[in-house]
């Protein structure tokens, strides 16, 4: 495949703005909207979100396997994105236009969310699976991964920071429609820039054999376990920061935005730096450096007492976080290249699908860990916390994520693909 132009790299990368915009808006506000605004019983929405998590996890390897085996004139990935992006935007909009009351509203929510899951995984998994096929050298992948994460961070900021402003002035339904429209525009730009190698050899193995081949790949096992613990910390940060600002810093609610903003603002320029470093050091060494910096940046949260100091520490987190955002897909792409050399088949779909399945449990682990810490430390809602509770909350931004990152660092150290520099491959035909 010829080297892609800068224009096509940026256009493909812009799809990540759509992914993060709708994912972050959904994750940050959907429970609040249905419970606090619409008045659905919290237990019912919690049950629906558990089902949503399980279904989302299972759909990843299913669509990965299906995509790898697809044959069409447009390729294996593009048809799913082409025909899925409009229904996905429509379903995201429908979530914010509730129908019914009480139990009927719960069933509406559950139905729309599960349909949304199907379309979201179908589009996003195939978007991700195109990355290692379209961009075949470390230099190209580093450049595109940097662009993708810059767009992704913008999507995160918009999805987390803008909803209160939009729904406060226009209402929840119009907010959903506007976000869906913006996401659809960038999805269209991304699909128009996407190209596949139509001659690539399809995966003809059965599902169980494909799963066996995936988990017999030692590099993938070490990578996905390291990624699981990294993704766990990604989930812990936004969940723990509101408790930290309220009960440790005893600051106003808008301090949450200051800390999250410091992380994202520091991360944006750093994705370019990490993209350059990975070309020099190779993916394995660079990801270990990123994990180490990310872990070190958590240490100040053991002692900071002011918002300004916490914001500086948060900016330090953004530096390491940017590296991990750039590098995780590059490592997985390297694994897929190695698998093709071993098997003669390109199986991006299954690898990205199984990665999605495994790391999804990092979010569930985060919820479990935070719940246990708050209960065990004696946390009391809207009260001045005991010393034990303050320490417990501090640990959620320091001791716990540092421990998780040390485990991740071990798995990345054991990761067996060591080559650095330019990595080229041929496609199976």
Q: CATH no. for residue 216? A: 1.20.1250.20
Q: Directed axis angle between helix 15-32 and helix 6-13, to 10°? A: 10
Helices (H) and strands (E) in the chain, counts: 17, 0
Report if residue 96 sits inside a domain.
yes
Report if residue 422 sits inside a domain.
no
**118 in the same domain as 181:** yes
* Residue that finishes a domain, picked among 194, 228, 263: 194
**Overall domain count for the chain:** 2
**388 in the same domain as 332:** yes
Residue 202 structure tokens:
């399809």
Report if residue 199 sits inside a domain.
no
The pLDDT value recorded for residue 199 is 57
**309 in the same domain as 171:** no
The pLDDT value recorded for residue 198 is 61
**239 in the same domain as 133:** no
Residue 371 structure tokens:
């719940």
Cα separation, 276 vs 161, whole angstroms: 30
Residue 266 structure tokens:
């520091």
Say if residue 11 is exposed, middle or buried (CB neighbours under 10 Å; 0-12, 13-18, 19+): buried
**153 in the same domain as 214:** no
**218 in the same domain as 187:** no
**308 in the same domain as 162:** no
* Residues of the domain holding 47: 1-194
The pLDDT value recorded for residue 200 is 60
**225 in the same domain as 185:** no
Residues 6+ positions from 398 with CB-CB distance below 8 Å: 298, 299, 301, 302
**276 in the same domain as 384:** yes
pLDDT mean for each 10 residues of the chain (429 residues): 79 95 86 81 81 86 85 84 95 93 88 93 92 89 92 88 84 94 96 77 70 88 95 85 87 81 90 92 94 96 93 94 92 91 84 88 78 85 86 93 96 85 39
Cα separation, 289 vs 287, whole angstroms: 5
Cα separation, 295 vs 293, whole angstroms: 5
Report if residue 289 sits inside a domain.
yes
**143 in the same domain as 43:** yes
Report if residue 424 sits inside a domain.
no
* Residue that finishes a domain, picked among 154, 171, 194: 194
* Residue that finishes a domain, picked among 138, 163, 194: 194
The pLDDT value recorded for residue 303 is 93
The pLDDT value recorded for residue 203 is 61
The pLDDT value recorded for residue 103 is 84
**304 in the same domain as 165:** no
**264 in the same domain as 140:** no
Report if residue 429 sits inside a domain.
no
Cα separation, 324 vs 330, whole angstroms: 10
Residues 6+ positions from 243 with CB-CB distance below 8 Å: 374, 379, 393, 396
């Amino acid at each position: 495949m010829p080297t892609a132009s800068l224009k096509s790299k940026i256009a493909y990368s812009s799809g990540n703005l759509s992914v993060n915009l709708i994912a972050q808006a959904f994750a940050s506000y959907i429970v609040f909207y249905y419970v606090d605004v619409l008045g659905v019983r919290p237990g019912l929405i919690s049950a629906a979100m558990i089902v949503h998590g399980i279904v989302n996890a299972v759909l990843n390897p299913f669509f990965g396997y299906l995509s790898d085996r697809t044959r069409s004139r447009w390729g294996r990935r593009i048809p799913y994105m082409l025909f899925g992006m409009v229904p996905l935007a429509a379903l995201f909009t429908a979530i914010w236009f509730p129908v019914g009351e009480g139990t009927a509203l719960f069933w509406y929510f559950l139905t729309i969310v599960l349909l949304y899951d199907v379309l979201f995984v179908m589009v996003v998994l195939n978007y991700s699976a195109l990355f290692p096929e379209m961009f075949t050298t470390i230099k190209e992948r580093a450049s595109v991964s940097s662009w993708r994460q810059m767009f992704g961070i913008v999507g995160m900021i918009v999805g987390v920071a803008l909803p209160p402003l939009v729904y406060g002035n226009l209402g929840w339904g119009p907010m959903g429609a506007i976000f869906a429209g913006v996401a659809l525009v960038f999805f269209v730009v991304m699909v128009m820039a996407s190209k596949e190698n139509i001659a690539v050899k399809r995966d003809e193995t059965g599902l169980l054999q494909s799963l066996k081949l995936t988990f017999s790949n030692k590099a993938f096992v070490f990578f996905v376990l390291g990624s699981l613990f990294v993704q766990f910390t990604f989930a812990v940060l936004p969940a723990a920061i509101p408790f930290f600002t309220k009960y440790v810093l005893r600051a106003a609610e808008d301090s949450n935005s200051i800390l999250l903003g410091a992380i994202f603002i520091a991360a944006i320029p750093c994705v370019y730096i990490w993209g350059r470093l990975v070309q020099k050091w190779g993916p394995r060494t660079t990801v270990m450096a990123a994990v180490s910096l990310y872990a070190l940046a958590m240490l100040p949260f053991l002692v900071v007492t002011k918002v300004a100091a916490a914001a500086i520490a948060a900016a330090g987190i953004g530096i390491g976080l940017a590296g991990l955002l750039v590098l995780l897909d590059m490592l997985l792409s390297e694994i897929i290249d190695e698998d093709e050399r071993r098997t003669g088949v390109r199986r991006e779909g299954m690898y990205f699908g199984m990665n999605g399945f495994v790391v999804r449990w990092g979010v569930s682990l985060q919820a479990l860990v935070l719940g246990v810490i708050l209960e065990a430390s004696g946390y009391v809602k809207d009260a001045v916390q005991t010393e034990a509770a303050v320490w417990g909350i501090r640990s959620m931004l320091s001791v716990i994520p540092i421990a998780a990152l040390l485990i991740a660092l071990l798995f990345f150290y054991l990761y067996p693909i060591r080559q650095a520099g330019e990595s080229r491959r041929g496609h199976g035909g």
